A and B are shown apart, each in its own frame.
Chain A
Amino acid sequence: MNLKKHIAHHVRDIPRSGIRDFFEIVQSMKNVISLGIGEPDFNTPWHIREAAIYSLEKGRTGYTSNLGLPRLREAIADYVLKNFGIRYEGQTEVLVTVGVSEAIDLALRALVNPGDEVLYHEPCYVSYSPSVTLAHGVPVSVPTFARDNFRMTAAELEKKITGASKVLMMNFPCNPTGATETPEELEEIAALCARHDLVVLTDEIYSELTYDGARHVSIASLPGMRERTIFLHGFSKAFAMTGFRIGYACAPAILTEAMMKIHQYGILCASSTAQHAAIEALEQGAPDVESMRREYELRRNFVVSGFNEMGLECFKPFGSFYVFPSIARTGLSSQEFSVRLLKEKSVAVVPGTAFGPSGEGFVRACYATSLDQLKVAMSRIAEFVRETRAARAAA
């Protein structure tokens, strides 16, 4: 039986993830220091884990409302108002999801008709293009460049807008580049969205992790944008809760209701244990977030200096926990650099091309790893770069 022909065409045509290929090689090796893990190295703060345990002890293990526990939704609305200055109605405009990944999928499926174009900046998180395809939309990437520190500019965005454009997806601070947008740039992008009647999906999962005193501004907080924006956020990065799989979408009630229709049949509700943990995180977790943020900031400084000292140009990102250095001077492609570094020095970084073709010439290194490990990894990378250059010079 030819099962392949039974696979839906739009699923079959999605290429295999570049990260997954790389993962297989890393898995087969021992003693690798991985800078390829896009999650915090901290354990979930104890009081949050304890809240999850307590909810289990109390037997709070039933389904919750489709939208999520009312208390959690209220806590989310308060948090978003306090930290982002956007007012949402907890009972009708907040939907608790299984991580931001589910929220992205819901938002796209709720908005996109077959053939609608969805714009997103690239390099970007690996799921953006496939999620659009799975929602029967047409992914349209907007390139970002090292010369702009990987910010999306209104000028580049405008070039890609057509009559079929419907949605703009954004993720700042950005995985994989660490890029952030300034309020002025966001205003220009917002004006374009209003002019072309685009709905904005803004994935702000790294918004707590900003450095050098940079203040995060959400596009949803700009005048006139709340009504055309779906604000996506979650607990994975700031609260180190990746495995809890818990996130949320905030949007005008009509959009929340549309997403809820898909969520209720596909998922029913997010895990009740994770929801109880999330309440604790929002109510008591701010000091933990700040102490982890401070730690990431030191590591970022260390890693950025390290890459620049070894001649791999790397801008100092203001957010997330990634750096995206250029490896062009080694003369290797992203894939070659990453595979050889792994095989020769047992250090894993992710080839920039895993985040879209425009990631060629770059690699993503995540500094959510202990400083001790980072020090060893950086000295091994420096050694690798020196050897590569010497070999090139000799050739």
Chain B
Amino acid sequence: MDALLTLLKRDAHAPPEDLARELSLSVAEVRARIAHYEQDEVILGYQAILNAEKLGEVSVTAVIEVKITPERGGGFDRLAARIAQFEEVTSCYLMSGGYDLLVIAEGRTLQAIAAFIAEKLATIHGVISTATHFRLKVYKENGALLHREKSEPRLAVAP
């Protein structure tokens, strides 16, 4: 992977001037490459990773295992794309194993998620069954640890 993308994945906020120094490129080159990646949809977007615990807002996240019937000619894709459209769905993956789609859904309350599943998801033609798991606690979110252990102090100066 391009080192520029590695750096952006780590910190999408990094100023182009810093990225240019790290990569020994000109600032213009860095800007051009980022623009290119955005245009090509290699970079799909930039988001802040929020700490729900500190935010204090109540929200519910559910992981839903969905079994669906594949269609002739389209396999799982058409149905998966349809499910991914719902605004409650934050991620949607086709999986190997005992079920087909792994859907991650977010809602303000447990009832809201339950309603989404009962009224929308489960009623779609082709959805055979759903199994829902609710998230209880977050330890790590998108690579960011919620409680970072302080690293052992190093000597202040060492030869």
Any chain B CB within 8 A of the CB of A119? no
Q: List the A side residues contacting B23 at CB < 8 Å.
A: 298, 301
- Stretch in B47-55, B109-117, B148-156 touching the partner: B148-156
Q: Is the CB of A34 within 8 A of B156?
A: yes
Cα A32 to Cα B154 in complex, Å, equals: 12
Q: Is the CB of B154 within 8 A of A348?
A: no
A226 to chain B minimum Cβ distance, whole angstroms, is: 29
Q: Is the CB of A37 within 8 A of B157?
A: yes
Q: List the B side residues contacting A41 at CB < 8 Å.
A: 154
Q: List the B side residues contacting A43 at CB < 8 Å.
A: 151
Any chain B CB within 8 A of the CB of A239? no
Q: List the A side residues contacting B24 at CB < 8 Å.
A: 301, 305
Any chain B CB within 8 A of the CB of A27? yes
The answer, among A19, A32, A298, A301, for a CB contact under 8 Å with B159, is A19
Q: Is the CB of A305 within 8 A of B21?
A: yes
Given contacts A299-B22, A301-B21, A306-B21, contact A39 B157 (CB under 8 A): no
Cα A17 to Cα B158 in complex, Å, equals: 11
Any chain A CB within 8 A of the CB of B138? no
Task: Give the total number of A-B pairs whose CB atoms are below 8 A apart.
Answer: 57
Q: Is the CB of B155 within 8 A of A37?
A: yes
Q: List the A side residues contacting B151 at CB < 8 Å.
A: 43
A15-44 contacts to B (CB < 8 Å): 17, 19, 22-23, 26-27, 32, 34, 36-39, 41, 43
Any chain B CB within 8 A of the CB of A289? no
Q: Is the CB of B21 within 8 A of A371?
A: no
User: When each residue 1-39 of chain B gets 1 if its CB lies under 8 Å from chain A and 0 otherwise, what string results?
Assistant: 001000100000000001011111000000000000000
Q: Is the CB of A34 within 8 A of B21?
A: no
Any chain B CB within 8 A of the CB of A302? yes
Q: Is the CB of A37 within 8 A of B154?
A: yes
Any chain B CB within 8 A of the CB of A375? yes
B33 to chain A minimum Cβ distance, whole angstroms, is: 15
Any chain B CB within 8 A of the CB of A384? no
Any chain B CB within 8 A of the CB of A127? yes
Q: List the B side residues contacting A38 at CB < 8 Å.
A: 158-159
B96 to chain A minimum Cβ distance, whole angstroms, is: 26
Q: Which residue of A lies closest to B156 (CB)?
A: A26
Q: Is the CB of A348 within 8 A of B21?
A: no
Q: List 5 A-B contacts (CB under 8 A).
A: A36-B156, A298-B22, A301-B22, A301-B24, A371-B22
A192-237 contacts to B (CB < 8 Å): none
